[in-house]
């Protein structure tokens, strides 16, 4: 492992979390040790004191039955045997002058003489005697026998100290093992829990370094916060990828499809410049140039609208309006267009459907479909427009009668700038249905189209490739535009 990677270890979140958890564990262990040690110490000390009290009670019984001489004989008899736990026994008169005293020789360096220097009236509870050569102490308890004699019994704290030392050593040894284990386990658990963040960081680094936005973070499907973060990151990359793809497609489309109008624009200008000076010729050339510029502007506007809608950034001005009334206004406009060819447009279905959508965009989408219907319908035919409520959606169904759409072309009619050979004789940019689909889906709706052999009718679209060996003459094409009654809250609103 390189020095750089070693220096980065303390900065890692899993290391810091493991360090924090280990610190919490250490503090908890210290509290547990203190409580346990104090409890054990108090228990052992109370046991020693109880042992001294029992022995005092035994000596008091001997004194009561035989006096001081019998008590001394019994003490001498006990001390003549080697016992596991030695005791100090001292008997003094009311002036605290020693009458009798016995103690192990190992305790000679304890300040036993200080017991005779104390005032009997001030002696209360247990007295601790220390030694400069021993780590343990001697605890001495005192009792007065009939106000005539002071009896003091003491025992060492050696056994107690040894037990406490064993406890301390074992506890610290186990604590050290547990501390190391908890740190390693914490680091492993934190690294595993934070693996989605590491994966996310690696994906971000890869995107930054390579510029590829096709990178995705694996989702575990656990539904926790980290998994939701990974899901949100993937959605963000999806949206960015759609935006970039839309921009590239738009640039490619603009670069490709502006050539023709720009070439005509330049051709008109060059022809005018090469011709002899003629005011009418110049006026005509300017008119043609203006027409071509309008075509270019219209194409650019449509492409930008489609890209904005497909990438989810189209601004929608949501308002409440009657969808049926809006479509009927569009029908009334195109009635005049179709009247010259004997084409009629009939509306049926729901008399009114109140929606909350972008009225201008909905009008644009419906107008594109009806415009195509009028443009590609045969003379003296009827275009049928119907309205229906489908739960929380409103359906607009537009049926025209003509040459239809070949089945192989149906999936492609929504593509940008797709125009079939049968559409070449009609003006258009090949963007109408792409814009219809983009606007409808931007509102949270959907579109569909079907073409069936029936009575004579024409294909309603401006991106046809209906050649002779495709759709049969006398077929019907149906377009369905389905909008929600209210635009979703997630869309971009003005």
Give one DSSP letter per residue of 176-200, joined into a string.
HHHHHHHHHHHHHHHHHHTHHHHHH
Question: By C-alpha distance, which of 376, 372, 357 is closest to 432?
Answer: 372
**Token pair of 397, please?**
């169904």
Question: Closest Cα to residue 313, out of 359, 246, 250?
Answer: 246
CA distances 139 to 57, 72, 160, 459, Å, are 17, 21, 12, 112
Residue with tokens 């490619």: 252
Q: How far apart are CA 485 and CA 349, in angstroms?
A: 16
- Tens of pLDDT, residue by residue, the chain (494 residues): 455 555 555 566 767 777 787 788 888 888 998 999 999 999 999 999 999 999 899 999 998 888 888 989 888 888 777 566 788 999 999 888 999 999 888 888 888 888 888 888 778 788 899 988 888 999 999 988 877 889 999 999 989 999 999 999 999 898 888 888 877 877 777 777 767 777 777 777 777 777 777 777 777 677 777 677 777 878 887 877 776 776 676 566 666 666 667 777 778 778 777 778 777 877 887 887 787 777 777 667 766 776 666 666 677 889 999 999 999 999 998 988 888 889 999 999 999 999 999 999 999 899 989 988 888 888 889 999 999 998 899 999 999 887 777 787 787 777 765 654 444 445 555 677 888 998 898 888 999 998 875 444 344 444 444 443 444 445 688 999 999 999 887 655 55
Report CA dihedral (81, 87, 92, 94) to the nearest 10 degrees.
-140
346 vs 248: CA distance, rounded Å:
41
Q: Coil, helix or strand for 448?
A: strand
| Longest CA span, the chain | 158
Burial class (CB in 10 A: 0-12, 13-18, 19+), 256: exposed
The CA distance from 358 to 367, in Å, is 14
- Compute the distance between CA of residue 354 and CA of residue 362 in angstroms, rounded to an integer: 13
Q: Tell me how far apart the alpha carbons of residues 431 and 409 are, in angstroms, rounded to a whole number.
A: 15
Task: Look at residue 253 and give its three-state secondary structure.
Answer: helix
Residue 51, CA distances (Å) to 44, 55, 73, 296 in order: 11, 6, 21, 110
**Cβ-based neighbour number of residue 345 at 10 Å:** 24
pLDDT in the model for residue 454: 44
User: Residue 379's CB: how many other CB atoms inside 10 A?
Assistant: 11
Q: In the 8-state DSSP scheme, what is residue 130?
A: -
What SS3 state is found at 230? helix
Q: Which residues contact 411 (CB under 8 A, 6 or more apart)?
A: none
* Spatial CA neighbour of 479 closest among 394, 341, 366: 366
Which residues are registered as beta bridge partners of 319?
A: 357
By residue count, the chain amounts to: 494
Mean pLDDT, the chain, integer: 80
Strand partners for 100: 91
Report whether 462 contacts 428 (CB < 8 A): yes
The predicted pLDDT at position 460 comes to 45
């Amino acid at each position: 492992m390189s020095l750089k990677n070693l220096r980065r270890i303390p900065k890692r979140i899993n290391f810091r979390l493991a360090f924090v958890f280990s610190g919490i564990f250490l503090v908890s262990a210290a509290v547990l040790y203190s409580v346990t040690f104090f409890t054990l110490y108090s228990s052992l000390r109370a046991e020693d004191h109880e042992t001294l009290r029992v022995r005092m009670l035994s000596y008091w019984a001997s004194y009561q039955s035989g006096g001081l001489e019998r008590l001394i004989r019994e003490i001498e008899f006990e001390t003549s045997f080697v016992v596991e736990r030695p005791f100090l026994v001292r008997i003094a008169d009311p002036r605290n002058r020693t009458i009798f005293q016995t103690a192990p020789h190992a305790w000679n360096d304890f300040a036993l003489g200080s017991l005779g220097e104390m005032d009997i009236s001030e002696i209360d509870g247990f007295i601790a005697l220390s030694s400069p050569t021993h780590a343990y102490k001697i605890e001495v308890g005192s009792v007065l026998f009939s106000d005539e004699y002071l009896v003091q019994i003491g025992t060492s704290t050696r056994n107690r100290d040894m037990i406490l030392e064993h406890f301390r050593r074992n506890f610290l040894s186990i604590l050290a093992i547990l501390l190391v284990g908890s740190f390693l386990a914490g680091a492993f658990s934190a690294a595993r829990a934070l693996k989605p963040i590491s994966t996310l960081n690696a994906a971000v680094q890869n995107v930054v370094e390579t510029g590829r936005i096709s990178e995705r973070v694996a989702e575990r499907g656990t539904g926790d916060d980290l998994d939701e973060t990974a899901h949100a990151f993937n959605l963000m990359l999806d949206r960015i990828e759609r935006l970039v793809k839309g921009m590239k497609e738009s640039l490619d489309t603009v670069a490709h499809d502006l050539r023709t109008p720009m070439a005509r624009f330049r051709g008109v200008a060059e022809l005018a410049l090469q011709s002899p000076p003629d005011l009418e010729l110049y006026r005509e050339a300017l008119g043609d140039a203006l027409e071509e510029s309008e075509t270019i502007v219209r194409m650019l506007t449509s492409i930008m609208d489609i890209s904005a809608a497909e990438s989810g950034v189209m601004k929608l001005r949501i308002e409440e309006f009657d969808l049926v009334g809006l479509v009927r206004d569009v029908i009334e406009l195109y009635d005049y267009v179709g009247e010259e060819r004997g084409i009629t447009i009939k509306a049926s279905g729901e008399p009114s459907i109140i929606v909350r959508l972008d009225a201008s965009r909905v009008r644009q989408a419906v107008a594109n479909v009806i415009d195509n219907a009028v443009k590609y319908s045969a003379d003296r035919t009827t275009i049928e427009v119907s309205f229906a409520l489908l739960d929380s959606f409103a359906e607009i169904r537009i049926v025209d009668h003509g040459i239809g759409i070949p089945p192989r072309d149906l999936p492609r009619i929504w593509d940008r700038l797709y125009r079939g050979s049968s559409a070449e004789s009609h003006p258009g940019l090949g963007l109408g249905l792409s814009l219809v689909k983009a606007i409808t889906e931007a509102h949270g709706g959907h579109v569909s189209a079907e073409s069936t052999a029936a009575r004579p009718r024409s294909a309603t679209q401006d991106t046809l490739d209906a050649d002779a060996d495709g759709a049969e003459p006398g077929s019907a094409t149906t377009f369905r535009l389905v909008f929600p009654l209210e635009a979703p809250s997630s869309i971009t609103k003005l």
